[in-house]
Amino acid sequence: MTFGARLHAAIADRGPFCVGVDPHSVLLQEWGLGDDVAGLESFALTAVEAIAPYVSVIKPQSAFYERFGSRGIAVLERVIAESRAAGALVLLDVKRGDIGSTSQAYADAYLDPTSPLASDAITVSPFLGFGSLDPIIDTARRHDGGVFVLALTSNKEGPEVQHACTDDGTVAGRMLDHLRRLNADAEPLGSFGAVVGATIGATEEDLAFNGPVLAPGFGAQGGTIADVRRLFGTAAAVLPSSSREVLRLGPDRAAMRDFVQRTNEELRA
C-alpha cells in the first residue's frame, strides 16, 4: 500500500490526531528525569507505550534525539520500531533539504526499509527549489513512503519566504501546486503532503491538493479544533499535531492515553 492509502486507513481506524514525541529538556525535568540518555530513553519509550497504540501517527522530532549523539539516535531507532509495532505510522520530523547525492543520502537514511531509521514518512524543506527534493520524492515512491513539504509554517519568520511572490503566485502556492501535480489521480489519498500551521490565522492558498496536511501548533501552541475546521475544510486529510500538551501529562500513561483518545473523538465529531 502507498503511504497515502495507509494513512487514509489509519485515520479511519484511529482518528487524525498526530502526537509528537519530543523529549525537550524542560519536559524531561518535569518528569523528574535527567537530561541525559537514560532520561531520554525512559521518557520516549514511556510516551510511545502510552500513546502509539491509540493514534494514527507518531511524529518524533529527530533533533531532540540527535543532541545526545549516537546513543540518542539508538533511542530514536527504538521509538520508530516500537511505534510501528504498536500500529502507528511514523512521521519522522527531520526537515531535511539538500541537493543531489546528499538529498539521496537523506532519502536512503529515512525512507529505505533497510535503514534502522526507516519511517513511513518524513518532513522536508523545499526552499532550495522543489526540484532539489526529486531524490527524496523518487525514493518515497519506490518504497511506498510519504513526504511532507514545508509550505505555510506558523513561525513568524516564515512569511519572508513563503509569502514572497513569483510570476504566478506566492512561493507557498507554488509548493502546493507541485504537490497537486504529484498527487494527481491518487486514490484514496496522495502520499505527498504539506506542512501548514494550525495557527496561521487565515490563508487564500488552495489547500485542496489530494494529499495530507500536517498541522503543527494544535493544542498548547494555540491552535484549536475551530481553527482546524476553518482552515482545512477542503483538505483531503488533516493531521492536527501536538506534543507538549500530551507529554506534560506524563509519566502518567493513563492520563496521556485518555487525552489522545478524547482528542481523537473531538476531532472526529
Catalytic residue status for 95: yes
All cell numbers assigned to 260: 489522545
Full DSSP string of 132-154: GGHHHHHHHHHTT-EEEEEEE--
Q: For the beta carbon of residue 148, count every other beta carbon within 10 angstroms.
A: 26
All cell numbers assigned to 84: 510501528
Q: How far is CA 177 from CA 82, 130, 184, 187, 208, in A?
A: 35, 11, 11, 18, 10
Write the secondary structure of 16-62 as one string of H (helix), E (strand) and C (coil): CCEEEECCCHHHHHHCCCCCCHHHHHHHHHHHHHHHHHHCCEEEEEC
End-to-end CA distance of the chain, in Å? 28
Distance CA 32, CA 12 (A): 36
The CA radius of gyration of the chain, in Å to the nearest whole number, is 17
**Do 158 and 152 form a contact (C-beta atoms < 8 A)?**
yes
Cβ neighbours of residue 244 under 8 Å, at least 6 residues apart? Answer: 22, 24, 27, 219, 220, 221
- Active-site position among 78, 95, 141, 248: 95
Distance CA 266, CA 269 (A): 5
All cell numbers assigned to 247: 507529554
Active site (catalytic) residues: 95
